[in-house]
């Protein structure tokens, strides 16, 4: 699953972005990869490892919700969402 969030440009500054992605690793675990920064410049990257996909997906959705509260808007989403 991938989610790309963005805050619009303000006061002449470029928009800010926050990208979340779930990636399987070679040993059966999952990585939550987060990248954030100003649009058009290299962002900061953080990777968190999880033993199973469900736990990684829960973490991804928590981070997404936190960023939505900070004013980010979802621009792009790909993949399957968590069950209701």
Give the start-to-end residue ranges of the domains of the chain: 2-78
Q: What is the rounded CA–CA span in Å between residue 11 and residue 81?
A: 34
Of the candidates 69, 24, 23, which has an alpha carbon nearest to the alpha carbon of residue 34?
23
Q: Give 38-47 pLDDT, tens digit per residue.
A: 988 889 999 9
Check whether 8 has a pLDDT greater than 60.
Answer: yes
Contact (Cβ atoms closer than 8 angstroms) between residue 38 and residue 13: yes
pLDDT of residue 32: 97
Q: What is the rounded CA–CA span in Å between residue 32 and residue 48?
A: 5
Q: How far apart are the first and last CA of the chain?
A: 16
CATH code for 2-78? 2.20.140.10
What pTM does this model have?
0.85
pLDDT of residue 81: 56
């Amino acid at each position: 699953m991938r989610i790309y969030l963005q805050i619009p440009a303000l006061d002449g500054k470029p928009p800010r972005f926050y990208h979340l992605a779930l990636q399987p690793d070679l040993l059966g675990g999952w990585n939550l990869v987060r990248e954030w920064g100003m649009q058009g410049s290299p962002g900061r990257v953080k990777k968190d490892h999880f033993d199973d996909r469900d736990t990684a997906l829960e973490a991804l959705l928590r981070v997404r919700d936190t960023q939505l509260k900070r004013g980010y808007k979802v621009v792009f989403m790909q993949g399957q969402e968590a069950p209701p």
